Amino acid sequence: MADTPLPRLSRASFPVVQTWLHRRGAAIEAALTYPVLEDQKADFAELLVAEGRQISAFIGAYPAAEKLSIDPSLAHLICECQVPQSALHILSSVSDSPWANEEKAHPSYASQVPLPITQQWWRPFHEAAHTRALFPPTPSMESPNTEDCIQRLQHAHESLRERLSFANGEINRKSNVIHAIVAAQVAKWEALKQRLELYQVTLNMLKERCADLQKRAEESEALAACQ
């Protein structure tokens, strides 16, 4: 977009232009707040330089550019973009500038100006760096300590296998003891059940015998009364 000339802006558009610059300044300041992964620096730098050139072209289209208030982040980036140099060199220069490293006495534009999603082009780079910080890559298996690690793992595996074998034997032994106890209890319960059934049969026979004797006694009493 830097190569495409922008239409001339009127002086009456000063508030719009100034607000636009503040938003872009906040975006640049937020973009340079956190470091970027080495393998993503080239893409990040290209986008940063494209932003700088677009902003420079936009300022050039305003007839009273000297009256605009330009943030230090934008001013430094625009200045670097005027000189033919690589995007990575511009990124290094902007990142090492005093305004990016000094402590700010007041809240920055990044915290004061709401940024649309379209101006948060740096967010994926920050999220990737944050993810890498939380979950760093594991050491390669080609490291010099690989053989020692493998030996320690083998020893740990053998020790664990011995413990599991011993634990399995203990579990089987205790399981057999429990099964024997349960079998003995079941046998006792079956014997008690058989005795209970026998007692029930005997009780029924005694009841029948008592009823028969009672009947005979009543008949004898009735016969004696008749005589």
Mean pLDDT for all residues in the chain: 75
Q: Does one domain contain both 178 and 82?
A: no
Pair (87, 191) in one structural domain: no
CA atoms of 164 and 81, how far apart (whole Å):
68
Q: Tokens in use for 42?
A: 């080239």
Q: Tell me: the pLDDT tens digits for 54-94? A: 887 777 777 766 777 777 777 777 777 776 777 777 777 67
In a domain, 101, yes or no: yes
Position 167 pLDDT exceeds 80: yes
Place of tokens 């007692």: 199
For the whole prediction, is pTM greater than 0.95? no
User: Which of 134, 162, 193 is the endpoint of a domain?
Assistant: 134
| Last residue within a domain, chosen from 134, 165, 185 | 134
Residues 24 and 127 occupy one common structural domain: yes
Domain membership of residue 73 (yes or no) is yes
For residue range 188-205, what is the model confidence (pLDDT) as tens digits? 998 898 999 899 999 989
Q: How far is CA 88 from CA 22, 40, 60, 93, 121, in A?
A: 24, 11, 25, 9, 17
Position 28 pLDDT exceeds 60: yes
**pLDDT per residue as tens digits for the range 62-71:** 776 677 777 7
pLDDT band for position 118 (50/70/90)? low
- Quick check: is 166 in a domain? no
